[in-house]
């Protein structure tokens, strides 16, 4: 997912959706593939459910990958990989329900050639808050990204300073 400033709002763009049940080795392979494709992207791994171990293994494999790339004179992959503890302040169901306004207003959009969109849209449109936890991993990951404090649009290049036309003079005392 990428983030951009758009018409004085923040717009989230789903670039690719990879999903499946994989071994740790295959998961790492997929993450490294995405990091190769999206050079400046940061990687966030939820610490729950084996995330801490995946993070450690991914850092190890990234070091090996970058060593091989260096030896071959290729570009190194970013080491921006962060493990975070998910917020307990908002439930999974509420996080997913909070995505709807972004989607309905066009502030959550999809890359036209993104992989896995069928699965993402299937989960999004079939999500039932009364029966959560049924094949909602893709939209859960997206919802987590939307509320993560580090996921922000870049600052705009030009910042205009607008001063009031008629300034009030500061009061002063006459003695």
Long-range CB contacts (within 8 A, 24+) of 155-158 = 156/5
pLDDT digits (tens, 9 = 90+) for 26-79: 999 999 999 999 988 899 999 988 999 999 999 999 999 999 999 999 999 999
Helix, strand, coil shares of the chain, percent, nearest 5, are: 40, 15, 50
Q: What CA–CA distance (Å, rounded) separates 174 from 130?
A: 70
| Structure letter (DSSP) for residue 149 | T
pLDDT digits (tens, 9 = 90+) for 79-103: 999 999 988 888 889 999 988 899 9
């Amino acid at each position: 997912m990428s983030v951009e400033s758009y018409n004085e709002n923040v717009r989230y763009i789903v670039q690719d959706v990879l999903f499946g049940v994989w071994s740790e080795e295959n998961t790492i392979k997929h993450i490294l593939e995405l990091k190769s494709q999206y050079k400046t992207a940061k990687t966030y791994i939820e610490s729950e459910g084996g995330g801490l171990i995946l993070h450690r293994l991914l850092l190890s494999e990234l070091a090996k990958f970058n060593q091989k790339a260096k030896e071959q004179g290729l570009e190194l992959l970013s080491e921006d990989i962060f493990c975070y503890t998910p917020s307990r302040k908002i439930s999974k169901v509420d996080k997913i329900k909070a995505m709807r306004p972004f989607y309905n207003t066009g502030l959550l959009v999809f890359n036209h050639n993104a992989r896995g969109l069928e699965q993402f849209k299937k989960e999004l449109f079939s999500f039932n808050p009364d029966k959560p936890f049924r094949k909602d991993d893709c939209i859960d990951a997206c919802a987590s990204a939307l509320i993560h404090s580090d996921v922000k649009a870049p600052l705009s290049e030009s910042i205009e300073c607008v001063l009031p036309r008629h300034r009030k003079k500061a009061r002063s005392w006459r003695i």
